[in-house]
Structures are given as structure tokens and as C-alpha cells.
Amino acid sequence: MTGIPPLADYAARDTASRGRRYPEPPPNYRSEYQRDRDRIIHSTAFRRLMYKTQVFVYDEGDLYRTRLTHSLEVAQIARSVAVALGLNEPLTEAIALAHDLGHTPFGHAGQNALHQAMRDYGGFEHNLQSLRVVDELEEKYAEFPGLNLTFESREGILKHCSRENARQLGELGQRFIDGRQPGLEAQLANIADEIAYNNHDVDDGLRAGLISVNRLMETELFHEHCTAVKQRYPALTPRRLIHETVRRMINQLIGDLIEQSRANIAAAAPNSIETVRLLPGPLIGFSSMVGARSRELARFLRTRLYQHQQVRHANRKAARVVRTLFEIHFGDTAPLPETFLRAARQAETQQGKAGRARIVADYIAGMTDRYALREYRRLTGDTDTTPGLTGVA
């Protein structure tokens, strides 16, 4: 037996898994979800996250979050809560580590630009792309395409999905049509994402000088903890004041999430992951007071940081890079790397222009920030778009 901690009845477990798309013998020394997590860590898409923007372009400074460190922070938060709630920790970790695998270069600016470019060909959703990465695009195993993850990991990775896309996803898409829930590990990874980015964006935004402590005092969550820290430690350096405040904010959010989720679980008393899936609403969530504080902070970041003039300026440049790369490769697939070129030809034979567009989108979505910039400069000769973009949200 391996040292897997005891699980609550409502947790995901190997014996109740809906399985993998391509059946495989069970792992010898790991659980099914440990195997999923390990496959994600060994994937190429995971390593690419190191050079993809979270909010700030990777070479703006060495200390800003990248999509890789963001994903690690999400996993850390999610795992702490999973253990406290008796959920399946390796599954929670797998979902958290994989949740952004399909993200384009340049954060949301890149995603929006690619969605625009793809509007006549089914659009582009980074969530759906994360699923495509683990289901199709990773080339790792002799026996199957992608990583062949369990249903539960894939269910967690697919956070949102339009009804139209859901209809094409079979069993995995069904919950978006029926208005059902994913397992609790998936619900948790989703909220851990929110906790991680709200808090680290405060830290990164302050570091970049795009938001200030004074402004942040407008939000209840920051105000309460920053005031308490200042009172108790009046001589603290600004760096330590910020860290101590953010640490306490995260603590409050996590503590509240655990307590409220415990109460929700106790009230609904689900006895298996299947009963969790049939419930009308999620069970993992904040109390209404803390939920409101979290949303207030998110609103603050939206208006003060993500829509900051400097960030928007950078976004326009990033969008231009992504749009141009799409136009060039969609217009002429010849410069595509060999595997994409072959895939584009095959997809075009089967699905026409939309097929070709999808493969070009796969290629661009897989680019790191610096690869995209290098390709853009090489193909256009435009040197105006320097790497020092200053922030992309």
C-alpha cells in the first residue's frame, strides 16, 4: 500500500474514477491522480508556462509571477485546503498545475486577440485549449495522443465552456448542458486560482508601481490587514509590510473557504463524488462576507491594474503581435514547423479553412512570450515591439 491519506466519502477516489479515454492498467506505486499530476509536470506545455505572462511580460523583471509560478501558487493553496477538507490532494494538485496549460502568450491580451482572429472558425477559449493540450497536443506516449488523463482531471481543467462547445465534448461537456457540478477537487482548484491571482497581483502591481498602498486601502480586505500590521509593527519596512499584509489576506481567504465549505458539505452531506455532481450548486466557496471582500479586491485590480494605461498600451502591442502572427501563418502555412504544417494540411482536408485555422491557433497558443516576439520581429522586421512591454493583463 502507498501512503495515501484517508479520504472523505465525497472525495474523488481511484475506485470511483470514470477512467481514461484510452484504458490503461492501474499504476503500481501511485494512485491514478498521482500519475496524472506526474504526467502534467513532465509535459512540454508545463515547462512553457515559465516564459508566459501572468500580468507582466516575463522579462520585465525577474521577480514577477509567470504562469508557472502562478500555477505553483494555485497548487499550494489548493492542496492546503484539500487536505483540510479530506479531498483528494494529488487530483487537486493535478488540476491546479494544468489549469493554465492552454494559455496563449501575453496573458489575457493574447487570448483575446487569438479569439478575435478565430472568430469565424469557432473562436479560441484558453480553458478549452488546456483540455486540448492534455487530450491531443502533447506528444509523449507511444500508445495514445496527449497525456490520457483521468476524467476527473479533465473535468477540473475544463472550468467553463460555451454550450455549443460543450455539445461536442460528450460526457465531459454534459454538465454545462445539464447545469451540474464538477467534483469538489475541481471546485476547489477554481477558487484557489482566484485567491492566488488576486493576492499575487496585489504584490506584483505594487512592485511595478502601477498601484499604491494608499489606493489599496480603498478595499476592505487590504485595509483591515494592512491597518492591523501597521499598528502592531509600526517600524516595518514597506516590503515586509506588504508581504505581511498579503499573507494575512490569503490566510483569511483560505480559513474562510475551509470553514464555509465544511458547513456546506455538512449541510448537503454528499456520500460520493457522483452525488456531488448531481447537486444544484457548488459546495466549495466563501462565506458571503468574505466572498464580497474577494470580489471587491478583484474589481479594484480590474480597474486600477489590468486597465491601467501602461498595461493597456502593452496589451495593444501584444494583441498586434498575436494577430499578425495568426494572419501570416493562416495566409501561408509554409513557414510553420514541420509537425504543425502536416497537421494543418490534414485538418484542412477534413474541415476546410476552420481546420487550418485551428492548427495555426494551436501553434500560436503554444508560443512563449519571447518566442512570439522573436517570430514576430523575424517575420515582419518590426522592431518597435520591444520585449519591455510593461505589463500585460
Cell of 267: 449541510
Name 236's Cβ contacts closer than 8 Å, sequence gap at least 6.
229, 230, 244
Tell me the closest approach of the beta carbon of residue 67 to Mg ion, in angstroms: 7
Tell me the closest approach of the beta carbon of residue 368 to Mg ion, in angstroms: 17
Question: Which residue is it, cell 467534483?
Answer: 183
Tell me the closest approach of the beta carbon of residue 197 to Mg ion, in angstroms: 6
Could you give the residue ranges of the DSSP H alpha helices within 209-337? 213-216, 220-232, 238-268, 273-278, 288-301, 309-331
How many Å apart are CA 336 and CA 139, to the nearest integer?
A: 17
Point out which span in 190-198, 277-285, 295-303, 320-328 binds Mg ion (CB under 5 A).
190-198
100 contributes a contact to Mg ion by CB under 5 A: yes
Q: Smaller CB distance to Mg ion: residue 240 or 299?
A: 299
Tell me the closest approach of the beta carbon of residue 378 to Mg ion, in angstroms: 30
Name 87's Cβ contacts closer than 8 Å, sequence gap at least 6.
7, 8, 10, 11, 12, 81, 184, 185, 188
Q: What crossing angle do the helices spanning 309-331 and 353-365 adopt, rounded to 10°? A: 130
Provide the 10 A C-beta neighbour count for residue 155.
Answer: 25
Q: Smaller CB distance to Mg ion: residue 250 or 344?
A: 250
Q: Smaller CB distance to Mg ion: residue 152 or 193?
A: 193
Point out which span in 28-36, 106-114, 192-200, 234-242 binds Mg ion (CB under 5 A).
192-200
Provide the 10 A C-beta neighbour count for residue 44.
Answer: 13
Nearest-CB residue for Mg ion: 193
Tell me the closest approach of the beta carbon of residue 46 to Mg ion, in angstroms: 13
Burial degree of 4 (CB within 10 A; 0-12, 13-18, 19+): middle
How many Å apart are CA 59 and CA 52, to the nearest integer?
A: 10
Q: Smaller CB distance to Mg ion: residue 198 or 333?
A: 198
- Interface mask (CB under 5 A) for Mg ion, residues 48-87, using x and -? ----------------------------------------
How many Å apart are CA 54 and CA 193, to the nearest integer?
A: 12
Q: Smaller CB distance to Mg ion: residue 98 or 221?
A: 98
362 contributes a contact to Mg ion by CB under 5 A: no
Burial degree of 241 (CB within 10 A; 0-12, 13-18, 19+): middle
193 contributes a contact to Mg ion by CB under 5 A: yes
125 contributes a contact to Mg ion by CB under 5 A: no
Point out which span in 84-92, 122-130, 189-197, 287-295 binds Mg ion (CB under 5 A).
189-197
How many Å apart are CA 158 and CA 181, to the nearest integer?
A: 12
Q: Smaller CB distance to Mg ion: residue 100 or 201?
A: 100
Total of chain residues touching Mg ion, rule CB under 5 A: 2
Tell me the closest approach of the beta carbon of residue 122 to Mg ion, in angstroms: 23
Q: Smaller CB distance to Mg ion: residue 69 or 252?
A: 69
Which residues bind to Mg ion, rule: CB under 5 A?
Answer: 100, 193
